[in-house]
Each structure stands twice: as structure tokens, then as C-alpha cells.
Chain A
Amino acid sequence: MHGRPRKAPKPEDEAASSAKAQKLRALQTQFFTFHHNKIYTKEAVELSAKLLEINPESYTAWNYRKLAVEHYLNLPDCNPDSIKSVLDDELRVVENALRQNFKSYGAWHHRKWVLSKGHSSIDNELRLLDKFQKADSRNFHAWNYRRYVAESMKRSEQDELKYAEDMIYTNFSNYSAWHNRSVLLSALFEKKAGGFLLKEKVLPEEYEFIHQAIFTDPDDQSGWFYHLWLLDQTVTTDSPLLASSWPGHGSDVLLVGDRCYNGSAFSPFSALHSDSGSFPIVLYFNQPVGGVNSSTVTVECGFNKNEDLFWKPLSASNSQTARVWVAHLKVPSSDLHSTVEVSVGHSKGIISTRGFVYSHPSMFSFKVHVQPMERDSSQVSVAENISLREENFKVYGTQSEESIIDSFDQLIIKNGHETTASNWRFEALAKEIECFRELLSLVDCKIGKLTLARLLKAYDAMSYPFANKLVHSEEVLELYSDLMKLDPTHYQFYKDEHSIVLLQKYKDSASSAICDPICLRLNNLSLSRMGAFEKLLWVQMLDLSHNELQSIEGLEAMQLLSCLSLRNNKLRSLTTLEPLRKLKSLRILDISYNQIGDQSIDTTRYVCSSPLSHSVGSELNRDETVTSDVALINNWEAFFIFKDFNLNQLDIVGNTIADEKFKSVLVKIMPKLKQLDGKLLD
């Protein structure tokens, strides 16, 4: 089926093919007779060998041979010699079949099965493997089989590492060998076996080794992914860390008990407009973790019992692990000024998905001020189109001093650990940066630029928050811009990376006492992707209009969002809005002028919670919410996305999907909606 040249069929070819076909069919028919009648004579078994030699993919013949072997092994007169002869026969048949097609799953499995019968010729297996791997060093069947044999023989990881090394020295372009090496090394790192105890000793040698591959031929991919793994091993601390939180340490939170958007509501504090009598505490970890609950995270405040707090992971569907966790603190309606202390990880239980325990207990505290307002329900109506008014917003700017938020640094938890131990990490990174700068000075290559960008980002990430600045951002942005030109096939990949770095750059330091930091404008920045969420947890009103976003992955972290504009972006389906389902405070949403409904292929179909991915409960009662003229089959995306929303206002005009029929479906799904596309609903 692969790699055969296209030829015009000639009559003599067809005749020959037909003759061959007839012979094979006769063989097959005869074989079936033996198989279905359980005939295992020598002649019958020979026939199956002939069949497999012509067609090693005929899986039923392999099954038959296993039955034949079992038949012989169960004969009363069998002895060690006859057993050996039977099994040797099988191994011979497998070898013949593999010669025909050394990618035959059936043949390889049959060999494993035969060996499991106890006829050990393990040394022979290594010799056979050597032959095959020399013929095709990328044959993954052979490599899988090798791993199986090595384990059965209890060959040491060091011996296998040597084998992989030899294969690589024969030819650097051997991804399979590099892969095998990574498997062996991680097993050893985990075992903490002697000599491999310290990554700081092993990794520099591995870097030297991989450089030979990458620098010999920068366009050969074989070494790229191995190098990325080495980088990950250098940079990632095993133990998870708390990266940021909201409220931030030392901040003041003012809770205003009513919705009010005029200026008088603002104050030097970060005012949170809460209509639910509670506010969230958000924990943002540097990797997904599980085990966050009221035992492992304690919240001490005068007005709420810690045991009553329920921590939820902000992740898709059924998962009990997430990078972001949230709990809601109920606030009394009376006047209140109180300090809240949050202790994370003082008792063990928080574990990363890689299995590492959260081992650096941290603590942050903030003050809560409650300012209840006179509730006059007639004022609590959205009489006019609430726009994202100019004066309410802080604008993203890198030059301007005043466009910065206050208390931003307070969000970032200072993890005061590993200051000395991480020296080897910094050294390794610095050395790599030097090597790749040198490579780039000799050869303008894609992997050089991409790796350098990754190295510089990693270096900055490790330095911050101690260094308090992202030193290399400009250079990284330039590298990604270069890559967009150098490798246009993967333009969007580099664009996404560029967007994230742009957002990471956004901050901070210069504090500003201006106004109330709750709103952020990130429009017209050519953003193709959102990121840097750990820095944006404070945002209540977000303007992302006029960008190039086709996804809002990660936005679920922004738990305070009440008002979001995604106007004029590149959202292509309703399912991309899945992260918004976790934003319980979201009341105003603008997704106008996107591309929803333009295309039939939905790239977030499986990221959204629906019956298709078995991620909604079967207690779903459709009849209640969806009337007979809203066929679920045509509108399931709208149903599953919007049914849990609590919006007052939605803008959807300018999307192919947004015809009158669809808008009426939306109104049925969201009965509490007050305004749609500027029109008041009754």
C-alpha cells in the first residue's frame, strides 16, 4: 500500500496478477478448511507457513499456528526435544515472514507469544534485533521488541544507554535512538540510581552529546525534541509552586455591594462589584495540581469558617487537577474591615500531575473592606448599552509609565527557595545560550533561533521575580518575528509564541496611584493568543477587541471578569467560548464580528464539555430548557455553552451564525438575558 509507483495496468500484468490471485485464494480456502475443522497435521501446519510467507498480514493464520502449537504442547507424548522443535519452527516462520515485511504486527506478536511459552533463546533475540535494526534503524517494531527483550533479560539501563549511544554515533539522525535514550534516562532519574542521582552531572554531558547532532545538521529534526526535553529537565523544578494569587499579598479589597459603574464607585483600592455576597480567592500554580482542599489550604478570617470553603479546580470536565483553583468567601452584608490569611501547603496533600508534592508552604494575606450600598432595585437595571468606557480602562503600553497597574507585584508569590541549588540550572542555561548564539553566528537556522528564544525565555522566567524584569523580551520578540519570515509554514506557531511574550512583557514595576485597577485594554495588539494569566487575575473588565484571537484557552483563570469584549477577532465556533463557562461573574459579553459559523470544522469540539466527550452528566434534562422548535441536534453547541451563563448583555452581530433564528434560540437558552445586539429584551 505504500511506496509503489503508479503504473498503467497492462493486460499481461493483469493476467499475471489474476493467476497469482487464484493461487493465493486456493491456498486460503484450503487453509480455512483446516482451521475451521481444527486440523493440525504436519501438512496442514506447513500450508499455513506457505500462506504466511506470501502474506504475513493474514492474521487468522497466525492464530491458527498458535492453536497448532498448543495442540502439540498438549499431546501426551511431547518431550523437551519435541517442544523445542515445535517452537523453533515457529521462530523460523516468523523470521521468514519478517523478511517479507518487517513491519508485520502479526509476526512480531507471534514471536513474543512463542517466547512466552518458555523456550528461551533470548541471546538469539538480540542478534536478530541487531540484524533488523541495522537494516532499518527507525523500525519501531524492532525498538519495541528490543525494550521487551531487554526487560525480560533484565539488561541494565546503562547497557541499553550504551547501545543507543552506539546507534547515534553511527548516525546522528536516529530519532528512535534519542527517544530510547530519553526513556532510559528518565527511568534512571526517577530511580536515583548511583551516578545518575544528580541531573546537574548528567545533563551537561547530554547537552554536549546533542550539540553534535544539532550542530552537524541543524535541519535534521532528530535532535530537536531531545534538546527540548533536556531544557525542560534543566528548568522545571519538580515540586509545584504557587505562581500567583488573587487577592495579592498585602492588597486591599473593597467590596461594593451593588453594581455601579460611575466614577464615584472607584477608590484607590481594587473595588470588586459583587452581586452574589461573596468573592473568589484564586490560586494560580505553575503546573496542574490536585489535592487542593480546606485541609491543605487554610483561610483564616473573622467572618468565615475555613472548613466551609470548597476549593474547585478550574479545568475541563471531570478533572480533579488544574493549574488554577478557586474558592468563594462569603461576606457579611454589614460594614467590615478584616484581614484574611491564606496558608498554602502547610499540610501535605497538594500533588502535581507528575507526582511531586508541594513542598514549599507559602502564605499571603490581604485586607477586606465591605461597603454595602443602599439597594434600590429600580436602579439595578441596565437601561443603556454598557460600553467599555474610556476612562475606566488601563491601557496596555510598554513605553508609557502611567499605563501600569498598581499592586501587580503583589500578585506574584515570592517563592524563596532553591536559590543556591538553582545555580547549576543558571549555569547550564547560560552555557546553552552561548552555544546557540555561536551556532547562529555561523548558520542562520530555524532551530537556532527557536532554541535561543526558548533559552532566553527560560532564563528570564527563572530570574524573575528576583530580577524583577524580563531582560530578554525584546530579543525574544525579534527572534519570533524572524522565524515568521524564515519558516512561513509555521507562521502561526511563532505568532502565538510572540503574543504570549508580548503579554508577559506587560506589567508592572512603576506603580501608579491612578484610579482603580480593575479594567484592562489589550485591543489592537495583533494578539493571536492569550497568556500571562497569572499576571491578570485582578482584571474585572477586559477589552480584547480588534485582535486575531482564534482561541481563549486559559481565560477561565480570570475569575473576576464581569465584562469581556472579544469583538473583531477570529473566533470560529461557539465551543471556543468554553473557558467562559467557568466565569461566574461574567455579565457582559461582546463576541460580535468574529467568524462563528463560517466553517464546518470545529477545532474546539472536544475541548468543550458535551456528551460527545462524555463530560456532561446524563441528568441533563433537555425538555425543560429547550422547546420543541429548538432542535438540539442543530444547536447543541449553543445549548451546552450558554446554558450555564448568567449574562445580562450579549453582542453577537457580524457572525455568519447570528441570524434571527439563531438569536431566538439564544433567547430561549438564556432567559435571563436582558439585551441582545443592542436590543432590549422583555
Chain B
Amino acid sequence: MAELAVDKHFKYILSVEKNKDSFESVVMDHLRMNGAYWGLTALDLLGKLDSVNVDEVISWILKCQHESGGFSGNIGHDPHILYTLSAVQVLALFNKLDVLDIDKVATYITGLQNEDGSFSGDMWGEVDTRFSYIAICCLSILCCLDKINVEKAVSYILSCKNLDGGFGCTPGGESHAGQIFCCVGALALTGSLHYVDKDLLGWWLCERQVKSGGLNGRPEKLPDVCYSWWVLSSLIMIDRVHWIDKEKLVKFILDCQDVENGGISDRPDDAVDVYHTYFGVAGLSLLNYPGLKAIDPAYALPVDVVNRIFFSG
């Protein structure tokens, strides 16, 4: 069986950070903050976070913060809840949450909660359960979850629960592994997992594993390495991960590597990118692949980072 080409992936991630001039890079310019989170968390899981210039990263992150307290995807762009979480997560990785004016960030996020408990992504009002997860995760990391109306947030998420046990973006929306991760994660972080029908959802999730061993995001779709995170972490949070064949999934992820040039792709022999590299490595961590740091399935940060936030004096 193939092995994880740690060194190649390490070099690949660093090269992505430096390569700002390719078309792919410019087209993703607006989500560089997400990219930073994917790349840096992957590096931490691989044990290589110390190869990064922390001050440079932090200085760039702070340049992306707006008056409202929210963060944009890159310098010049508008603030959005998506990039606010990534910014906070990266600062947590470096144990530099103290550079933040926490109240300012919290105010931005609490301002995005709507009457029905849902969250908008930004001032323009798009509502999606992804944003519920982001708000809850972000404020949890900043240890001020009580600043939002948690009860209403939870009840909105539950209104997006479907008859197959899964969750969609909005009430009535079809179950999708990405949304399920967000909703299950949000419920986990708010001590509300008892609202999840674990057996029903567990079966839906475990049936994402197809013949090749990879996981898809919904019935009758193609497998994709990123679902090794969305589906897998959901299964772990509800304690049903033993319902899939973990070895076959490990093999699938390893088959998606570009062992020559580094990086991991969505499917074997497809083009690699930092997004799938992160999810592949994170998935392997959840599968107890040797040599990787353990990752927390709800916060999507290394376990030692999460423990540091909650349990150190």
C-alpha cells in the first residue's frame, strides 16, 4: 500500500503559498484566508508548522480585518463570516489569539444572527447552516459562545434536519455531507448531539463509502477526498465511524496523492490543490494514520490546539 509522502506534501503546500502568479492562484485570490487555514493546519498535522514565518502571516491576517470586526478573504475584499472563522482558526494554530480584540470579532458575528436563530454570511443576508457552524465554532474558540442566542441557533439548525436524518443549507434543503458536517459540528459544540438520530444519520453517512473505498457527498455521486473530512468527522462525532471500512478509505486517500510533485487531489489522477491536500491529511488523521497529529472533528483544529484553549490554566 502506498504511504503518505509527507515531505512532498510539505514542499507542495509551501510552494502554493509562494506562488501567487498562476491563473489558479489569482482566481482563488478572494479566498486566500481559507487557503491559509487549509495549508497551515495541514502543515501542523504533518508536524511542520514551525517552517512558517508567523509574524508575516499574522500581519497579513490583521490587514484583512475591517472596521466591523469581520475579516475578508484577502486584502481589499469585503468582510464575510467565512473568512472570519479561518482567520481565528489560524491565530489559534499559532497560539496568537491575544492579538485580537475579541469583543470586536464577537460583535461582528453576533450582528449576523437573525430573528429565527439563523446566521447570515455578511450584511447582504445570505442564510446557510454553514454560517451557523462558523459562528458557533468561532465564538467557541474565542470562549464567548454565550454572546449569541444559542437556543435559537440550535433550533434553526434542527429545522434543517431532513427525514433521512441529514441536514441541508436551509429548511427543506437536501442532505449533503458538507452541510451535515456543519450542522453536526454545531450541535456537538453546543452540547446538542442528542437531537441527532445517530443510527439513521449514521447509516446515511456510512453508505457514502463506494466500491473504491472513497466517500461521496450524497447518494449516487462520485467519491471525493474532501468527503473524507465532511463525512468522516460527522461519523466520528456521532460515534458511528466503525460502520465504514477505514482501511479502504485510507487506501483511497493515499491513491489520490501526487507522489512526484506533492499534493492530494479529489480523485486519483486529478489535479491537486491545497484544499484537497488539507482534507486528505485531516481525513488520515481521523483514521489514526501513524505520524500525524490528531485533529478535533468539531473544531477542525489539532487536538492539542483545542485542548490548549479549553484546559490550560
Contacts and interface: CB of A to CB of B under 8 A. Distances in A.
B258 A6 contact: yes
A648 interface: no
B189 A613 contact: yes
Interface string A1-38: 11111110000001001101110110010001000100
Interface in B258-313: 258, 265-267, 269-273, 275-276, 285-288, 294, 296-298, 303, 306-308, 310-313
A13 B220 CA distance: 35
B237 A175 contact: no
B182 interface: no
Query: Which interface residue of A1, A321, A491, A603 has the most chain B CB atoms within 10 A?
Result: A1
Contact of A605 (B73, B163, B297): B297
A600 B163 contact: no
Contacts of A3: 266-267, 270
Nearest to A32: B76
A7 B245 contact: no
A604 B209 CA distance: 22
Interface string A620-639: 00000000000011001000
B21 interface: yes
A612 interface: yes
A603 B193 CA distance: 13
A615 B124 CA distance: 33
Nearest to A635: B311
Interface in A530-566: 550-551, 553
A183 B166 CA distance: 13
Contact of A183 (B172, B188, B269): B172
A551 B286 contact: no
A232 B165 CA distance: 12
A220 B207 CA distance: 11
Contacts of B307: 633, 636
B173 to A, nearest CB: 5
B104 to A, nearest CB: 21
Given A59-B80, A221-B219, A601-B288, A18 B207 contact: no
A39 interface: no
Interface in A458-492: 488-492
B231 to A, nearest CB: 13
A614 B219 CA distance: 33
A614 B23 contact: no
A147 B162 CA distance: 15
Nearest to A618: B146
Given A59-B78, A144-B169, A5 B271 contact: yes
Interface string A220-233: 11101100110010
Nearest to B258: A6
A28 B26 contact: yes
Chain A's interface: helix, strand, loop or mixed, by majority?
helix
Interface string B102-126: 0000000000000000000010111
Interface string A583-619: 0000000000000000111011111011111110000
Contacts of A333: none
B243 A490 contact: yes
A632 B311 contact: yes
A186 B23 contact: no
B218 A175 contact: yes
A36 B76 contact: yes
B191 A59 contact: no
B78 A60 contact: yes
Contact of B273 (A1, A20, A612): A1
B174 A316 contact: no
A21 B188 contact: no
Contacts, number: 224
A179 B175 contact: yes
Contacts of A62: 124
A55 B269 CA distance: 25
B188 A613 contact: yes
B191 A221 contact: no
Contacts of A490: 206-207, 209, 243-245
Interface in A70-127: 105, 109, 113
A511 interface: no
Contact of B224 (A2, A140, A315, A318): A2
A316 B193 contact: yes
A57 interface: yes
A636 B220 contact: no
A109 B248 CA distance: 38
A66 B189 CA distance: 35
Given A179-B174, A490-B206, A550-B242, A613 B219 contact: no
A63 B174 contact: no
Contacts of A18: 21-23
A604 to B, nearest CB: 5
Nearest to B73: A59
B163 A186 contact: yes
A343 interface: no
A421 B23 CA distance: 66
Contacts of A636: 307, 310-311
B190 A613 contact: yes
A362 interface: no
Contact of B266 (A2, A63, A183): A2
B149 interface: no
Interface string A117-153: 0000000000000000000001010011001000000
Contact of A614 (B122, B189, B242): B189
A606 B206 contact: no
Query: Which interface residue of A183, A488, A604 has the most chain B CB atoms within 10 A?
Result: A183
Interface in A484-518: 488-493, 496
A62 B80 CA distance: 13
B94 interface: no
A222 B269 contact: no
A600 B220 contact: no
A7 B271 contact: yes
A614 B190 contact: yes
B237 A606 contact: yes
A319 B151 CA distance: 11
Given A59-B78, A615-B191, A21 B21 contact: yes
B215 to A, nearest CB: 11
Query: Which interface residue of B31, B193, B213 has the most chain A CB atoms within 10 A?
Result: B193
A58 interface: yes
Contacts of A422: none
B241 to A, nearest CB: 6
Interface in A165-180: 173, 175-176, 179-180
Given A225-B204, A288-B194, A315-B194, 4 more contacts: A3-B270, A58-B29, A63-B78, A322-B194
Interface of B: 21-27, 29-31, 72-73, 76-78, 80, 122, 124-126, 128, 140, 145, 150, 162-164, 168-170, 172-176, 188-195, 198, 200, 202-204, 206-207, 209, 213, 218-221, 224, 236-237, 239, 241-245, 248, 258, 265-267, 269-273, 275-276, 285-288, 294, 296-298, 303, 306-308, 310-313
20 contacts: A1-B275, A3-B266, A6-B269, A6-B272, A57-B30, A59-B77, A105-B126, A140-B173, A182-B162, A222-B220, A317-B194, A489-B245, A492-B243, A493-B202, A606-B298, A613-B189, A614-B140, A632-B312, A633-B308, A636-B307
